[in-house]
Amino acid sequence: MWGVVGVAMVAAVIVWFEVPRQWKQRSWRDLSVFGVILVCASVLLSLESYQVKLPNPLAGIEWVLRSIGRMF
């Protein structure tokens, strides 16, 4: 529980510092990408704090590259 609270607090601090700057510059694309990445990272860190077994991303990359290698 405290891990999720910590992740939320860190995310809030990051938003506090980054969003006003991007808002003033009217960089909407950067702001939307920033939001998506921050939400994804926060969800993954929250799941990790609950000790949910997450898949290894390297296994997916290896599968894609082996599939491409078989084609050639």
Q: What is the pLDDT of residues 3-34, one digit of tens each?
A: 889 899 999 999 999 888 888 889 899 999 99
What is the pTM (predicted TM-score) of this model? 0.72
Q: What is the pLDDT of residues 62-72, one digit of tens each?
A: 999 999 999 88
Q: Give the Cα separation of 22 and 30 in Å (integer).
A: 7
pLDDT tier, 2 (very low <50, low <70, confident <90, very high otherwise): confident
Residue 39 CB contacts under 8 Å (≥ 6 apart), including other chains: none
> What local confidence, expressed as pLDDT, does residue 38 receive?
94
Q: Give the Cα separation of 25 and 18 in Å (integer).
A: 11
Average pLDDT rounded to a whole number, residues 35-50? 93
Residue 7 CB contacts under 8 Å (≥ 6 apart), including other chains: 42, 45, 46, 49
> What local confidence, expressed as pLDDT, does residue 29 receive?
93
Residue 45 CB contacts under 8 Å (≥ 6 apart), including other chains: 3, 7
